[in-house]
Amino acid sequence: MKDIINKFKITSGEKFSLKDFDPAYSADLKKEDAEAILADLIQQAASLQSALYADNRYALLILFQAMDAAGKDGAISHTLSGLNPQGCEVYSFKQPSAEELDHDFLWRHYKALPEFGRIGVHNRSHYENVLVTKVHPELLLNERLPGLKSVKDAGKEFWQARYESIRSVEKHLYNNGTIIIKFFLNLSKGEQKERFLKRIDDPEKNWKFSAADIYEREFWDDYMKAYEKAIKETSTGQCPWYVIPADKKWFTRIAISTIILDTLKGLNLKYPVLPKEEKEKLEEAKKVLMEH
């Protein structure tokens, strides 16, 4: 499984190119084995989640970014299904509210960070501000930023400053105990088309489809450029990106769970060791319980 991690992990954007990543890749694994593999990965992660809570030195923040129909919701529900819900927080970020637009673009995401000992999942994240706004720069005008009177004012320096803000806050979080995993679910345009058609043809999935999905699909190439640029600019050794094949949902979930488990293992989590005085109190409590 280590090969899966290394194959998808981006720690430097210097040589990164999306064309080098196959959305249909599934290693040498077989779909019929996927359920058992995923169950084992989740079980191992669940035991480490307890240690994460008891250790209380780290928080784990998992970010999901993807095009529509890439399977973010399904990936989140399947990979976290065996974890203790009391130790997880999932936020799905939509269009910013009026209150959120009265703050900087990182504010609403920062205040949704997980506490130490907990796992936080952001379905879409602060990266929307260098993805959707990059493809539709007119949205930037809603932020009422100083010096930004028209979309023409959002030049190269503007975007470089925004990437720098993201890198800086992620470095700050890492240095203070919040470990960040960033997943880009790499869906092919052809597979997205098939999933959209299924949503239209299946009455039980009609609710998932929106005409806006077709509108955004027209900007596919622009989004791919925006994703590639964002990953290039914000991949670091401390806060890497993982470009996960998303055409086969069963493999997507295995890859995600593998990376989450490996990350938790890497924290060297330990249950607290009670001082001698506290252990003596436990023994006294045990005696009392045994006598009654």
Element spanning 91, H or E: strand 88-92
Domains of the chain, CATH where assigned? 2-291 (3.40.50.300)
pLDDT digits (tens, 9 = 90+) for 209-254: 787 888 999 999 999 999 999 999 999 999 999 999 999 999 999 9
**DSSP sequence for 138-173:** GGGGGG--TT-SSGGG--HHHHHHHHHHHHHHHHHH
pLDDT of amino acid 249: 97
The CA dihedral of 129, 134, 135, 137, to the nearest 10 degrees, is 90
SS3 124: coil
pLDDT of residue 1 exceeding 70, the answer is: no
Task: pLDDT band for 2, please (50, 70, 90 cuts).
Answer: low
Q: What percent of the chain has pLDDT over 90?
A: 82
pLDDT of amino acid 274: 73
Q: What are residue 224's DSSP bridge partners?
A: none
pLDDT digits (tens, 9 = 90+) for 30-41: 999 999 999 999
Number of Cβ within a 10 Å radius of residue 2: 8
- Report d(CA 194, CA 74) in Å as an integer: 17
> Rounded mean pLDDT of 19-48?
95
Task: pLDDT band for 278, please (50, 70, 90 cuts).
Answer: confident
* pTM score, whole prediction: 0.93
